[in-house]
Amino acid sequence: MPRIEQMFAFICEDRGPDDEGVVAAPFGNQVLPLVGADIERVESLKPIVQSVADKLRKKVKIVVFSKREEVGLIEPRTFISPI
């Protein structure tokens, strides 16, 4: 996979015009945010987002964030066997 240089997100108004949230949808027993790193993923999520917009009765915006800045790193833990 190529390096991710931008992220697309589906967002909608939450509690007021200056309060937004990322739209999420249930997948199995989880709720996942609807985001993608390329326009193909965005297109594939549109039917799900349309359903969420219908249920929430809210407009959903598609936004792109295009400035990559790494702000942290989470390293895997090393587990030592107790035996």
At 59 the pLDDT is: 94
| Confidence at 16, pLDDT banded by 50, 70, 90 | confident
**CA nearest 8: which of 49, 59, 53?**
49
What token pair was written down for 22? Answer: 């990322």
Rounded distance between C-alpha atoms, residue 38 and residue 40, angstroms: 5
Residues 6+ apart with CB under 8 A from 74: none
As separate numbers, helices (DSSP H) first and strands (DSSP E) second, the chain gives: 1, 6
In tens, the pLDDT along 32-47 reads: 999 999 999 999 999 9
In tens, the pLDDT along 21-79 reads: 999 999 899 999 999 999 999 999 999 999 999 999 999 999 999 999 999 999 988 87
